[in-house]
Amino acid sequence: MTRRRTLVAAGLLACIAACAGVLGLRREGSRPFPHRAHVLANVACTKCHAQLEQDDGKGLHVPDDATCSSAGCHVKPHDPRPCLGCHATPLALEQLAEARDHLAFDHGRHLPRTKGNCMRCHTGVAEGDDHLRPAMATCFKCHDHDAERDARRCDACHKNLEDGVERPASHLAHDGDWLHEHGTRAASSADLCQTCHQEKFCASCHGVTVAVLPATQHFADPFTPSVHRAGFAARHSLEAKSDPGACQQCHQPERCATCHLARGIAGEGRRSPHPPGWVGLTAADSAHGREARRDPAACASCHGGAGEALCVSCHKVGGVGGNPHPPGFSSRVRMTELPCRMCHTVGR
Amino acid sequence: MKHSVAIALGFVAVATRSAADPLRLRADALATTRSPAGLVMLEADGEASSTMSAEAVVWTAADPLPGEHAGDVLVIALRARTKDGRASTRVGRFVEMLGAIRPLQIDGAAGRVKLPQHVTVEAFAGIPVVPGLATGRSWDWAAGGRIGRELGDYGSVGLAMMEQRDAGRLVTEEVGLDAGVAFGKRDDVGAKLAYDLANPAIADAEITARHVHSKEMRFDVYAGYRAASHLLPATSLFTVLGDVPAARGGVRMTWRVAPRLELTGDAGARDSDADFAPAVTARARLALDDRGTSALTGELRRDGASDDAWTGVRGAARIALPCALTASSEVELVIPDHDRTAGGRYRGQVWPWALAALGWDRGPWHAAVAIEASASPEARHRVDALVSLGRTWGVK
For residues B41 and B35, give the distance between their C-alpha atoms in angstroms, rounded to a whole number. Answer: 16
Tell me whether residue B270 is in a domain.
Answer: no
Classified as helix, coil or strand, B322 is coil
For residues B28 and B56, give the distance between their C-alpha atoms in angstroms, rounded to a whole number. Answer: 14
Tell me whether residue B297 is in a domain.
Answer: no
- Whether residues B86 and A151 touch (CB distance < 8 A) is answered with yes
Tell me whether residue B214 is in a domain.
Answer: no
Longest dimension (CA), chain B: 65
> A192 to chain B nearest CA, in Å?
12
- Whether residues A198 and B190 touch (CB distance < 8 A) is answered with no
Chain A hits for B50, CB-CB cut-off 8 Å, are: 155
Residues of chain B with pLDDT under 50: 1-9, 11-20
**In chain A, where are the structural domains located?**
21-150, 251-267+290-303, 308-348
For residues B333 and B331, give the distance between their C-alpha atoms in angstroms, rounded to a whole number. Answer: 7
Backbone angles phi, psi at A324, to 5 degrees: -75, -15
Q: What is the pLDDT of residue B322?
A: 92
> A113 to chain B nearest CA, in Å?
27
Q: What is the pLDDT of residue B104?
A: 93
Q: Per residue of chain A (348 residues), what is the pLDDT tens digit?
A: 678 888 888 888 888 777 777 777 776 667 778 888 888 888 888 888 877 777 777 777 888 888 887 767 787 667 778 888 788 877 788 888 888 888 888 888 888 888 878 888 888 787 777 778 888 878 888 887 777 777 777 777 887 765 555 555 545 667 778 888 888 888 888 888 887 788 898 999 899 888 888 888 889 999 888 888 888 988 998 888 888 888 888 888 888 888 888 777 776 666 677 877 888 777 777 888 888 888 888 888 888 877 888 888 888 888 888 888 888 888 888 888 888 888 887 655
Chain B hits for A312, CB-CB cut-off 8 Å, are: 237
Angle, CA of A60, A65 and A66, to the nearest 5° = 100
Q: What is the pLDDT of residue A76?
A: 67
Candidate from B74, B130, B343 with C-beta closest to A200: B74
Q: What is the pLDDT of residue B191?
A: 96
Q: What is the pLDDT of residue B342?
A: 57
Candidate from A211, A222, A332 with C-beta closest to B328: A222
- Whether residues B258 and A25 touch (CB distance < 8 A) is answered with yes
Using left for φ > 0, alpha for ψ between -120 and 50, and beta otherwise, residue A296 falls in: alpha
8 A C-beta contact, residue A232 and residue B378: no
Interface test with B, best of A181, A235, A258, A323 (most B CBs within 10 A): A235
Q: What is the pLDDT of residue B161?
A: 97
Q: Is the peptide bond before B352 cis (omega within 30 degrees of 0)?
A: no
Classified as helix, coil or strand, B86 is coil
By CB atoms closer than 10 A (0-12, 13-18, 19+), residue A19 is middle
Give, rounded to a whole angstrom, the gap between the first and last alpha carbons of chain A: 81
Q: What is the pLDDT of residue B20?
A: 40
Check residue A213 and report its DSSP letter. -
Chain A hits for B318, CB-CB cut-off 8 Å, are: 221-223
CB of A242 within 8 Å of a chain B CB? The answer is: yes
Q: What is the dihedral of CA B320, B321, B326, B329, to 10 degrees?
A: -80
Note the residue count of chain A: 348
Give, rounded to a whole angstrom, the gap between the first and last alpha carbons of chain B: 28
The number of C-alpha atoms within 13 Å of B299 and in the hemisphere containing its C-beta is 24
Tell me whether residue B3 is in a domain.
Answer: yes
Q: What is the pLDDT of residue A172?
A: 60
List beta partners, residue B249.
B223, B269
> B62 to chain A nearest CA, in Å?
12
- Reference B147, options B100, B105, B206; nearest CA is B100
Q: What is the pLDDT of residue A258?
A: 80
Classified as helix, coil or strand, A62 is coil
- Whether residues A293 and B242 touch (CB distance < 8 A) is answered with yes
By CB atoms closer than 10 A (0-12, 13-18, 19+), residue B346 is exposed
If you write DSSP's letter for every residue of B171-200 in order, what string do you get?
A: EEEEEEEEEEEEETTTEEEEEEEEEETTTT
Question: A90-97 long-range contacts, Cβ below 8 Å, gap at least 24?
Answer: A90/A30, A90/B290, A91/A129, A91/B290, A91/B291, A92/A32, A92/A33, A92/A129, A92/A130, A92/A132, A93/A60, A93/A62, A94/B291, A95/A132, A95/A133, A96/A60, A96/A62, A96/A132, A96/A133, A97/A60
Q: CA–CA distance from B339 to each of A244, B71, B129, B353 (Å)?
A: 21, 38, 39, 17
Tell me whether residue B35 is in a domain.
Answer: yes
For residues B65 and B58, give the distance between their C-alpha atoms in angstroms, rounded to a whole number. Answer: 18
Q: What is the pLDDT of residue B345?
A: 64
If you write DSSP's letter for every residue of B251-317 in order, what string do you get?
A: EEEEEEEETTEEEEEEEEEEEETTEEEEEEEEEEEEESSTT-SSEEEEEEEEE--GGG-EEEEEEEE
CB of A212 within 8 Å of a chain B CB? The answer is: yes
In chain B, which ranges are continuous DSSP H helix?
Answer: 2-15
CB of A173 within 8 Å of a chain B CB? The answer is: no
Tell me whether residue B37 is in a domain.
Answer: yes
Backbone angles phi, psi at A239, to 5 degrees: -65, -40
> B350 to chain A nearest CA, in Å?
10
CB of A15 within 8 Å of a chain B CB? The answer is: no
> ipTM for the complex?
0.87
- Reference A53, options A131, A107, A124; nearest CA is A107
- Give the count of beta carbons closer than 10 Å to the beta carbon of residue A122: 17
Q: What is the pLDDT of residue B2?
A: 45
For residues B305 and B308, give the distance between their C-alpha atoms in angstroms, rounded to a whole number. Answer: 5
8 A C-beta contact, residue B208 and residue B222: yes
pTM of the model: 0.85
For residues B263 and B252, give the distance between their C-alpha atoms in angstroms, rounded to a whole number. Answer: 11
Tell me whether residue B72 is in a domain.
Answer: yes
Angle, helices A296-303 vs A254-262, to 10°: value is: 50
- Whether residues A221 and B343 touch (CB distance < 8 A) is answered with no
Interface test with B, best of A200, A201, A218 (most B CBs within 10 A): A200
Chain A hits for B43, CB-CB cut-off 8 Å, are: 200
Decide the pairing of beta strands B38-49 and B23-32. antiparallel
Chain B hits for A296, CB-CB cut-off 8 Å, are: 228-229, 232, 236, 238-239, 241, 243
Nearest CA in chain A to B199: A331
CB of A101 within 8 Å of a chain B CB? The answer is: no
Nearest CA in chain A to B171: A333
Cβ partners under 8 Å of residue B332, min gap 6: A230, A231, B312, B313, B314, B315, B352, B353, B354
Total domains in the fold of chain B: 1
